[in-house]
Structure 1
Amino acid sequence: MSQAPTDTLDLSRCADEPIRTPGSIQPHGFLLTLGSALQVLQASANLADWTGVAARDVVGLPLAAVVGEAAMERIAAEIAATELIARPSYIGTVTTANGAHFDVLAHAWDGVTILEFEGVNRRRAADFRNLYPLVGDFLVKVNQAATIPALSDLAARRVREVSGYGRVLVYQFDADGHGRVLAESKEDGYDSYLGQHFPASDVPAQARALYTLSPIRVIQDANYTPAPLVPELNPVTGARNDLSFAALRSVSPVHLQYMRNMGTLASMSVSLVVKGKLWGLISCHNAAPCPVPVDKRTACEQLGQILALCIESREDASELQFRLEVRRIMVEMLGRLTKGADFLENMSAVFPELLRFARAGGVAIVVDDRVLTYGDTPDETQIRALADWLSLHGGHSDIYHTDHLKDAYAPGADLVRNASGLLALPISRIHQHYLLWFRPEVVQTIEWAGNPHGKQASPSDPAQLTPRLSFQAWRETIHGRSLPWHVAEIELTVEFRSALLGIALERAEQMAELAEELGRANKELEAFSYSVSHDLRAPLRHIVGFSDLLLEPGGAEDPERRQRFLKNIKESARLAGKLVDDLLSFSQMGRAALRPTMVDMNELVAACIDKLGMEMQGRNVDWHIEPLPSVWADPSFLHLALLNLLSNAVKFTGGRDPAVITITSEEDEDFIVFHVADNGAGFNMEYVHKLFGVFQRLHRMEDFQGTGIGLANVRRIVERHNGRVWAASKQGEGATFSFSIPKHPSH
């Protein structure tokens, strides 16, 4: 049962190996697959070594023909009494007709019942009695261990005691898939890997997925000769058997060579699964072949599950403490930001808190032509260039973060010292306004168990790659990276942005009141003021009215009635806020400076459609988009105009299945014209002159939700680009909205 080492294993194919369907098993036992009547469908080729009966001779026979009548009856009784699942269950120890003893594992998978027989030297059943005091003692001691490395050290020592292996490691996978050894327990004479890293390639992605599903894997002797299944294909599926959960499953020849190169002839791996993801492994090594019976494997698996639960608990507690501290800083900042009227002055007053909030080395605010900095930051020219890059690649609504800026932004190579890490928070939907946090470079020295970048060529075939031969400590220095951004920092930064916008909306409401007073100067502003007050008054009346009903005697006694009133109040308040928000956007549209550049309209349309994903959820929308030319325009403003037109097309085709939306273009000597056509509700052309006015609607608000500002924004944006906008429709048959942009920019 020996397998000679080979130098012709191709490591480049390792990630594609059929590890779930190897077609064979390890030979320290034999395997049978059974049909519903317990007839043998397949047997491993080493069956004769264990029972004296050839595998090819038992296919189609009842189980008793292989193991004997007594063993068959016991197995049949256990299968009948046990609900077999994908994970193998120990169903007892049997003695076959030739007098050999076997521990039997059974599971149902791949359309068959899979029985695995592992040879043992005892007639009695496996003894699980020692499992309970072991687990109980471990639970007592893990409660005394405060840190995850301390927990891991305790688990490593206990697993080595139970398994008898010479070295046990506990290692954790990082975000890139590399493993770091947190704890180690070993006998004298074994190399130490404590604190070292193993590259992600040592455990390919498909192996990680299998470790997540199947929590334990044992290789008793790395020099084994695999025993193939007879016949090779599963008669039920017509394909190779899926042995994902089989304890005897044969493993990759590449991995066996890897073990031999490491000086390991026996291994056992116990998965550490935390919140459904593979967090790490308990990896056991032995220099000589080493069997681990089912009772000891079960004990090790239980210890691994307890360790995973303890890790989850410690990580959750640490995460909660971190979030509370970051939130406390955020609340402190927001309290100070609401006191003054000047936004920049308020923000600069909380610069120290901003640094602590993001654990940053420097912070900058970019607002129009002003750049304010605090701490260790790039210079103003570099910050402006970075903001320009963010406006094209990061957008105005999404938070951008990286801990290796130079890899995404080429000029970032000059910013490594103080800006290897960047967290960018857009603080305006239409302007190039950013709050930027910078983290300095943190030079890391990682000690690997062997060179992770070296490619070991096969001596017999240099074109092939073989498992690495060396596991000697190899140090690597990592440059150009900062501390990674914590997921809680990202999430709380999103919250912080919402809070900042809330403060801005409060200022916008004050400005809206002032605008209403000044708006009485002429007829246009009078009509504008009337529309604003009309649209705002309705939700405010709802708020006052339902509040009065709640305050009436008995108004709050009926819980269902109270909930209905509160829901109406909340919806009315949300609508009022949305009206003010859109009004602020419309107001800003006339004042903000244009920053024109060449805009690829195909990319812009794709970005808008992607952003409309939620609105189209569950809808059948058929997009027809012709190739579109590029134009000279402000990308942020044009994005907002196009988004409004496409959003309207999606909204007003709500009753169509499919909704058909077409985007085309044409050009003449002076202008490029874009058309957005749909097959929606359309409108009455008698009122087309009202279509692009503020708060003007040609449909009932109950039929189509909206604030009536979107098309006014479109007109203002297009006119600021010296173009024009118009529309045509036939009611009930759709509408076409068109706008023109000059081909030659005016200077």
Structure 2
Amino acid sequence: MTAPSAIPGAPAAPPVTLDNCDREPIHIPGAIQSHGLLLAFDAGRRLVYGSANAAQILGSGLPALGEPADDGWAAALPALGEALSAGLRNPDPQLSIQQEVRCGDRPADLLVHRSGDTVVLELELRDRDEPQVSEYALRAHRAIDRLKRQPDVDSLLQTAATAVRELTGFDRVMAYRFLHDGSGEVVAEDRHAALEPFAGRRYPASDIPAQARRLYLVNTLRLIADVNAAPVPVLGVGHRDAPLDMSHCVLRSVSPIHLEYLRNMGVAASMSISIVVEGELWGMIACHHRAPRHVAYAVRMACDVLAQVLAANVQSLLARQRARAAEMAAQLRAQVIEAALHGDELLAALAPLAEPIARAFDAQAVVLAQEGKLVVHGELPHEIAAGLVQSLQRAQLAERDLVVSQAMKQVLPPPMPVTAPWCGLLGLRFDPVQGGWLLMLRKEQIETIHWGGKPDKDYATGPNGPRLTPRGSFDLWKQEVRGISVPWSAFEQNLARQLLDELTRAHSHRLAEMHRARTQLLAMLGHDLRDPLQSIAMAARVLERGGDAAGTDGAAPSARLGQRIQSSSTRMARLISQVLDASRLQADLGLQIRRVPVDLARILDDLLDEAVVAYPGVRLLKDMPEHLPMQADPDRMAQLFGNLLSNARHHGLPGEPVTVRLVDLGERVRFEVLNRAPAIPPEVAADLFSAFKRAAQPNVRNKGGLGLGLHIAQAIAREHGGEIAYAWRDGQVCFGVEIPKSASAE
């Protein structure tokens, strides 16, 4: 080969510094490792690049740079000539040819690939005393079989580390995976007994710069046979305007900064195998040796196949984990939608889901807030939760109505309402006007990281002059991390956005329902108050004119008018009372139950006597004890009984009796009202206890009702620890409720 010619326009390589080490052009080093040679030919078979040791290894017959490989060269080196011809005939940019050849008296591996418009031939020499390749193939097959039986990722990595060490003989083989911040953690290790263990240590992301990570994806296995061997320059002809791209070369030389890194670790030879999952560099298998070590190409390919099987198994395990998480997320979304759309009050409906929400997001606390009301699940103090909601209302949100932070103090405006150990926040604002929030919180992750040496790099004068020198010590260096939580994963953030969309839609739906209910209430109330008000006004005008004529029944006019005013006023009071009760329930204020000792049988008996007097045509059958003492609100229980009786009287078949039962069950009391009537349709039964349903169930026998009776009766039952249930049996509609006799029993 002739002396190299300068490449026109090629800039001098800048010194590597702290600012540019992550941009070092390691794919065009201009040199190869010394245990082989490199030749590159253009489409005219001209030698355009060649390593400086090629003539020494191959002997005579090698063409000069810029000269074509003639028939004489092909005859002297037939294997290289055939490989070159095969490469030139195949235009595939992903061309890859490998074959075993002889180079003098030594076995060698011949590798062919394309780099742009050139065909690159690499000849890698083997050791003379290497075992047969078939032996390695059998070992690799056994290792792959063991990999298939591992149940989890950690077991997979440990099995792979052990198998690679058995195949290659390296002193240390580590399997590590990359974390969310790009750093790598050693998960598994197989090593010589004399070596210090590195398992559990972490290495910073800067140890593998971005351009190195790209090459680990392009070329998944990398061998450095001798850290201290001098690199062999690759010479090029003068007309080539760019250095040779060696991204796919197995002999590519090593960055000086990486060689220093290895020397500082006491490593004389290394090999790395990429673990690529879903197109991303998920982890690596790193091999170290205390002396130079060359691993045959066939053995390296067996390790590469093993790593691909490992990656496929990791991907399968991760896919199963994602599938389980997606299933749980779908169930949670369905529960939230159901509760938000069908619950009487949003916070009360979502409160039972606080535990599933915390579990789905791996959160230690959940906070629900709206209209000044607060529900807290977990160990978070109530006053801190209230302060957090107020602070978030003042905050300027970076992303619509979602807050994501590992250290919430960095996103909250002062004064700071949150104290240790709470750090992580995933907040969903579904009601900006009335402060509607769903918050998931995580505690501080106090983590002691075992770094392989101090993770910071410093300027120093190294063997390559004044520039960046890699970390000079890999002794254990501990760092305690405080003030942040475990980060919220992309899956968790996506689920949070989905829940936010559902809650926002549910809130909009509830606002529309509330507006419709208020409009309906005003319309019904205006209509139903018109008649009693008109009666009162008429009676007042008659009294004003001094009417004194006796009625047909002989009663004085003033007495009849007084009865009319009393009746109309009572009806108005009943309507207004129902509206007020419904308003309190809609506002989640409750009905102000006051338990006192009462005789429930006496209350019911008085109510039945009044019903017989007021409605002589109604037949009442009662089954009840003479006395039934308990603790209850007497007025509210009379209201519950009256509403159920009124419901049976209005909706039962005319002329059929209404049966009333009161049963003492020991710690509880059961009350039932039965009337003969057709079964209630399922679509109506599902909405029996909702407010304002008169339009959906017109009844000519109850024109003056607001559709609130069953709604209020159910609220009274719940305030007393019971629940009204509907059933249809033996041709009768039955409404029954069981109530504890005392608050302690409840």
For Structure 1 versus Structure 2, the TM-score category normalised by the shorter chain is: 0.5 to 0.7
Are 2:261 and 1:255 equivalent residues in the alignment? no
The 3-state SS of whatever aligns with 1:212 is: helix
User: C-alpha distance in 2, partners of 1:233/1:280?
Assistant: 41
Could you say which residue in structure 2 is the equivalent of 1:146?
A: 151
Using the alignment, how far apart are the partners of 2:106 and 2:360 within structure 1? 68
Q: Which residue of 2 aligns with 1:30?
A: 37
Q: CA distance change for structure 1 residues 371 and 21 in 2, over 3 Å: closer, same or farther?
A: same
When residues 83 and 167 of structure 1 are mapped into structure 2, their CA distance, relative to the original with a 3 A threshold, is: farther
Distance 1:200 1:113, change over 3 A: same
Worse overlay, 213-222 or 494-503: 494-503
Gaps spanning 5+ residues in structure 2: where?
Answer: 1-14, 525-746
Q: In the superposition, relative to structure 1, how do residues 412 and 76 fare at CA in structure 2: closer, same or farther (>3 Å)?
A: farther
Answer whether contact 2:384 2:418 (CA < 8 A) is retained. Answer: no
Q: Does 1:394 align with 2:398?
A: yes
Letter in 1 for 2:79: A
Cα 1:501–1:93 shift into 2, 3 Å: same
Cα drift, residue 517 of structure 1 = 5.8
Partner of 2:115: 109
Aligned to 2:615: none
Kindly tell me: are residues 233 and 509 of structure 1, through their superposed partners in 2, closer, same or farther at Cα, counting changes over 3 Å? farther
Whole-angstrom CA distance in 2 between matches of 1:43 and 1:412: 68
- Cα 1:163/1:244, change in 2 over 3 Å: same
- In 1, Cα distance between equivalents of 2:166 and 2:340: 59
Tell me, yes or no, if structure 1 residue 91 matches structure 2 residue 85: no
Identical-pair percentage: 28
In structure 2, what is the equivalent of residue 75 of structure 1?
83
CA contact (8 A) 2:63 2:73 kept: no
For 2:139 and 2:236, how far apart are their aligned partners in 1? 42
* C-alpha spacing 1:65/1:205, structure 2 compared with 1 (3 Å): farther
Deviation at 1:403, TM superposition (A): 1.8
Alpha-carbon spacing, 1:66–1:119, altered in 2? closer, same or farther (3 Å): farther
1:138 positional shift: 2.7
Alignment match, 1:118: 124
Structure 2 residue 478 is the aligned partner of structure 1 residue 478: no
- Tell whether 2:310 aligns with 1:307: yes
* Pairing 1:194–2:202 present: no
Q: Which of 47, 51, 66 is the matching residue for 1:44?
A: 51
Alpha-carbon displacement from aligned partner over 1:350-376 (angstroms, at most 9, x marks no partner): 433443343322222343444443433
Task: For 2:423 and 2:465, locate their aligned partners in 1 and report how far apart those are by CA, in whole Å.
Answer: 39
How many residues were matched structurally?
507
Displacement, 1:24? 1.3
Q: In the aligned structure 1, how far is the partner of 2:417 from the partner of 2:29? A: 51
1:158 aligns with 2:158: no
Indicate whether 1:452 and 2:446 are aligned.
no
Amino acid at match of 1:104: L
In structure 2, how many angstroms separate the alpha carbons of the residues matched to 1:385 and 1:504? Answer: 20
Larger Rg, first or second structure (1 or 2): 2
Question: Counterpart of 2:22 in 1: which secondary structure?
Answer: helix
| Superimposed CA distance per residue, residues 385-438 of structure 1 (whole angstroms, 9 cap, x where no aligned partner) | 531354x2235x442212222344475977352430000112136665322121
Deviations 1:240-290 (A, max 9, x none): 111111001111100001111111111111000000000011101111111
Following superposition of structure 1 onto structure 2, how do residues 402-441 of structure 1 map, counting pairs within 5 Å?
Answer: 402-409=405-412, 411=414, 415=418, 417-428=420-431, 432-441=435-444
- The CA deviation string for residues 613-672 of structure 1, in whole angstroms up to 9 with x for no partner, is xxxxxxxxxxxxxxxxxxxxxxxxxxxxxxxxxxxxxxxxxxxxxxxxxxxxxxxxxxxx
CA shift, 1:100, in A, is 6.0
Q: 1:411 to 1:157 in 2, by over 3 A?
A: farther
User: Residues 200 and 435 from structure 1, CA distance in 2 versus in 1: closer, same or farther, beyond 3 angstroms?
Assistant: same
Matches within 5 A, 1:515-534: none
CA contact (8 A) 1:168 1:282 kept: yes
Quote the Cα distance in structure 1 between the aligned partners of 2:397 and 2:92: 53
- Superposed CA offset, 1:65-93 (max 9, x none): 65725334432464368675446431341
Deviations 1:19-70 (A, max 9, x none): 0111111121110111123331121112233124598934313166657253
User: In 1, Cα distance between the equivalents of 2:503 and 2:249?
Assistant: 56
1:172-219 deviation per Cα after TM superposition (whole angstroms, max 9, x unaligned): 011111110011111222232111111111111111111112101111
Partners of 1:426 and 1:297 lie apart in 2 by 54
Residue 614 (structure 2) aligns with? none
Distance 2:81 2:473 in 1: 52
Distance in 1 (alpha carbons) for counterparts of 2:344 and 2:181: 46
Match of 1:341 among 331, 341, 344: 344
Is 2:271–2:288's contact at 8 Å kept on the other side of the alignment? yes
| Alignment partner, residue 188 of structure 2 | 183
Match of 1:17 among 18, 24, 36: 24
- Equivalents in 2 of 1:441, 1:450: separation in Å? 25
State the Cα distance separating 1:317 from its structure 2 match: 1.2
In structure 2, the residue matched to 1:241 is 244
Distance 1:338 1:84, change over 3 A: closer
Q: Distance in 1 between matches of 2:255 and 2:375?
A: 58
How far apart in 2 are the matches of 1:55 and 1:190? Answer: 46
Match in the other structure for 1:626: none
Task: Give 1:310 deviation, angstroms.
Answer: 0.8
1:689-734: CA deviations, max 9, x gaps? Answer: xxxxxxxxxxxxxxxxxxxxxxxxxxxxxxxxxxxxxxxxxxxxxx
Amino acid at match of 1:37: G
- Given the alignment, which residue of 286, 289, 297 partners 2:289? 286
Q: 1:99 to 1:41 in 2, by over 3 A?
A: farther
Q: Secondary structure at the match of 2:418?
A: helix
Q: Within 2, Cα distance between the matches of 1:349 and 1:386?
A: 25
What is the letter of the counterpart of residue 152 of structure 1?
A: L
Q: 1-side partners of 2:485 and 2:47: how far apart?
A: 60
d(CA) in 1 for partners of 2:315, 2:117: 35
Q: How does 1:613-632 map to 2 (within 5 A)?
A: none
Q: What letter matches 1:375 in structure 2?
A: G
Cα 1:439–1:61 change in 2 (3 A) is same
Q: CA deviation at 1:380?
A: 5.2
**Residue identity in the other structure for 2:34:** P
Query: 1:79 and 1:92 mapped to 2: Cα distance?
Result: 16
**SS of equivalent to 2:504:** helix
> Could you tell me whether the CA contact under 8 Å between 2:403 and 2:427 is conserved in 1?
yes
Letter in structure 2 aligned against 1:488: F
Pair 1:416–1:509, CA change in 2 (3 A)? closer
For structure 1, the residue ranges without an aligned partner over 5 or more in a row are: 1-7, 522-747
Query: In the aligned structure 2, how far is the partner of 1:186 from the partner of 1:63?
Result: 50
| Structure-2 change in CA distance of 1:230 and 1:139 (3 Å) | closer
1:418–1:58 CA distance, 2 compared to 1 (3 A): closer
The within-5 A match list for 1:565-714 is none
Length-normalised TM-score, structure 2: 0.62
The equivalent residue for 2:388 is 383
Structure 1 distance, partners of 2:330, 2:55, is: 68
SS in structure 1 of the partner of residue 431 of structure 2: coil
Q: Aligned equivalents of 2:411 and 2:466: distance in 1? A: 33
CA distance in 1, matches of 2:262, 2:476: 17
Q: CA separation in 1, counterparts of 2:465 and 2:58? A: 44
Q: Kindly report the root-mean-square deviation, in angstroms, between the aligned alpha carbons of the 2 structures.
A: 3.3
Report the 3-state secondary structure (helix = DSSP H, G, I; strand = E; otherwise coil) of the residue aligned with 2:343: coil
Asked if the contact 1:152/1:183 (under 8 Å) is kept, the reply is: yes
1:457–1:386 CA distance, 2 compared to 1 (3 A): farther
The alpha-carbon distance between structure 1 residues 86 and 161, as it changes in their structure 2 partners (threshold 3 A), is same
Give the direction of change, closer, same or farther, for the CA distance of 1:365–1:80 in structure 2 (3 Å limit). Answer: same
1:60 corresponds to 2:63: no
